[in-house]
């Protein structure tokens, strides 16, 4: 019973972070908003790592991998995600980001030879890409040019995140998840803050409303630290398949939260495309081998979608 309650809480947290991003973007510019959120999250994560007494990586190779994956998963993915969500609904952003496992399956073919290519996974990729195509089919003509480019930016970010997650599974399996997460965040937030300073100006001059501050704190503390601790506990007290269901529930919650609290409209194309994406995630993520997971993105990633085996701990610190 306790594990089920934690599971529900996590679904609620990760389904609501998209709304927090959307509301915060009303007052804060995207790159600086993302970068400052990670500054707070890194501070919390550092305290957790120190309390656990985990040693830091010592080799140049480890730090290089942390830097590369941090840049892809945080600078590129979240920079594009925050920028793109200015122009589309929070629910649609969640659905588009949910394509991470589909792209990850393709990338894993070149980096993880042990990952099995099954008809189910191939169908999952096809469904996911089809879903994106359905959503894109009228973005340019109906929603406007910036909505199209915002959607495209989030998909590009999902590709970058998928590549980072496969690298994590292929080459970072020996690193502690908390240390990996903190290192990636530090490497990813620096370019975000630099770009924000150049293109968006001095953070002290931003429109620091109470809602903007609340969104920033919520994303860093609840969406990052609290969710990290809950998920870390959950993976040790719940079977893998049930835990992976979070990846399917989170985008649906994000859509519902956006409709109820932000009055976001949901078109039939968003519904049809979203169902294709969710079905694709299910086919890719919820097929297990005996004694192990079936895919490179078999657990949880940004905002509750598929991610690498170590990346869930990293990703859930930031969404």
Contact 11, 250 (CB under 8 A): yes
What the block records as the tokens of 10 is: 């996590």
- The CA distance from 247 to 213, in Å, is 28
* Digitized pLDDT (tens) for each residue of the chain, 319 residues in all: 788 899 999 999 999 999 999 999 999 999 999 999 999 988 888 888 888 888 888 889 999 999 999 999 999 999 999 999 999 999 999 999 988 888 888 888 788 877 777 788 888 889 998 999 888 876 655 556 788 899 999 999 999 999 998 898 888 878 887 788 888 999 999 999 999 999 999 999 999 999 999 999 999 999 888 887 788 788 778 876 677 778 788 898 999 999 999 999 888 888 899 999 999 888 887 654 444 444 444 434 455 443 433 344 444 444 4
What the block records as the tokens of 309 is: 């085996």
Read out DSSP for 19-83? Answer: HHHHHHTTTS-HHHHHHHHHHHHHHHHHHHHHHHTPPPP-SHHHHHHHHHHHIIIIIIHHHHHHH
The residues pairing with 292 across neighbouring beta strands, listed in sequence order, are: 289
Contact 111, 162 (CB under 8 A): no
Q: What is the H or E stretch that residue 211 is in?
A: helix 210-217
- The CA distance from 317 to 319, in Å, is 6
Give the N- to C-terminal CA distance of the chain in Å, as an integer. Answer: 25
Q: Give pTM, 2 decimals.
A: 0.87
What the block records as the tokens of 284 is: 């890719």
Contact 115, 284 (CB under 8 A): no
* Main-chain dihedrals φ then ψ at residue 289, nearest 5 degrees: -80, 165
pLDDT of residue 259: 92
- The CA distance from 58 to 143, in Å, is 49
Find all residues with CB under 8 Å of 292, minimum gap 6, and list them.
none
Q: CA dihedral in degrees (232, 211, 86, 276; nearest 10)?
A: 40
CB atoms within 10 A of CB 181: 31
- The CA distance from 39 to 46, in Å, is 11
What the block records as the tokens of 229 is: 């601790």
- The CA distance from 110 to 127, in Å, is 21
Domain boundaries, the chain: 2-315
- The CA distance from 161 to 234, in Å, is 23
Q: What is the H or E stretch that residue 276 is in?
A: helix 268-285
Closest by CA to 231, choosing from 172, 288, 178, is: 178
Distances (CA, A) of 66 to 143, 179, 200, 228: 38, 10, 27, 19
Read off the pLDDT of residues 12-56 as tens digits, 9 standing for 90 and up: 999 999 999 999 999 999 999 999 999 998 888 888 888 888 888
Contact 14, 303 (CB under 8 A): yes
């Amino acid at each position: 019973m306790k594990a089920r309650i934690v599971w529900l809480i996590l679904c609620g947290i990760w389904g609501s972070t998209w709304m927090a991003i959307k509301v915060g973007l009303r007052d804060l510019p995207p790159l600086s908003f993302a970068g400052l959120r990670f500054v707070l999250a890194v501070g919390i994560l550092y305290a957790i790592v120190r309390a656990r007494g985990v040693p830091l990586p010592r080799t140049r190779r480890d730090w290089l991998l942390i830097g590369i994956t941090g840049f892809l998963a945080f600078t590129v993915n979240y920079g594009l995600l925050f920028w793109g969500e200015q122009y589309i609904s929070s629910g649609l952003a969640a659905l588009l980001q949910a394509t991470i496992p589909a792209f990850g399956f393709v990338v894993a073919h070149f980096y993880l030879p042990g990952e099995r290519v099954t008809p189910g996974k191939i169908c999952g990729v096809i469904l996911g890409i089809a879903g994106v195509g359905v959503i894109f089919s009228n973005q340019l003509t109906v929603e406007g040019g910036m909505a199209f480019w915002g959607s495209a930016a989030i998909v590009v970010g999902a590709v970058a995140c998928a590549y980072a997650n496969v690298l994590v599974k292929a080459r970072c399996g020996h690193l502690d998840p908390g240390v990996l997460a903190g290192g990636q965040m530090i490497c990813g937030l620096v370019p975000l803050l630099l770009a924000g300073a150049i293109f968006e100006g001095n953070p002290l001059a931003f429109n620091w409303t109470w809602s903007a501050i609340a969104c920033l704190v919520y994303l860093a503390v609840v969406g990052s630290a609290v969710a990290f601790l809950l998920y870390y506990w959950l993976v040790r007290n719940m079977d893998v398949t049930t835990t992976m269901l979070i990846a399917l529930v989170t985008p649906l919650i994000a859509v519902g939260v956006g409709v109820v609290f932000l009055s976001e409209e949901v078109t039939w194309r968003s519904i049809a495309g979203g169902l294709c994406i969710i079905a694709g995630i299910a086919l890719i993520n919820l097929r297990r081998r005996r004694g192990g997971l079936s895919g490179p993105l078999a657990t949880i990633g940004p905002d509750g979608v598929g991610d690498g085996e170590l990346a869930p701990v990293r990703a859930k610190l930031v969404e």
